[in-house]
Amino acid sequence: MESASITLYRLLTEVFILLDDADRRALRQHNLSIRQFNILYHLNQNQGMSINDLSRCLLCDKSNTTRLVERMKQEGLVTRERDTQDRRYVSVRLTETGVRLRESAIAAHQTSIEERFKTLLPTEQAALNQLLVHLRDSLREHISQIQ
């Protein structure tokens, strides 16, 4: 017999997998992986991010981020530019093609999210949001104490 915590964990994991799969399907029409989409998303908010900053946003290692950025550069979605003051700093920026793709992909992604969550009433969405924020904040606190 599983505890309530284990059952909840398994349910959240299954929901995550379903959400992730729906994201992949929504982004497939734009030939984007979820990580590539997240790069486009974060670059617009912070034009000129370093690979290290992008790695932190994506929660993945620097070498993985470098490979993703290089592939996106070859596709004409981003550029990599050395800082004139500090030659060690490389800034990743969106190209015009990247900006257009970002806008289109975000619109498709948002439509997909709205469709998936319309099964919940607004009050249910608000209650679930409140519980998940509380869980997220508690998890962050717990993880920060583990060294």
- Each residue's pLDDT tens digit, 69-116: 999 999 999 999 887 777 778 889 999 999 999 999 999 999 999 999
Residue 132's nearest CA partner among 20, 124, 115 is: 124
3-state secondary structure of 92: strand
3-state secondary structure of 90: strand
DSSP state of 88: T
How far apart CA 37 and CA 105 sit, in angstroms, is: 7
3-state secondary structure of 77: coil
Question: In 29-121, which ranges are continuous DSSP H helix?
Answer: 34-45, 51-58, 62-74, 96-117
- Each residue's pLDDT tens digit, 124-139: 999 999 999 999 999 9
- Each residue's pLDDT tens digit, 44-78: 766 789 899 999 989 889 999 999 999 999 999 99
- Amino acid occupying residue 42: H
Tokens 């915590």 correspond to 5
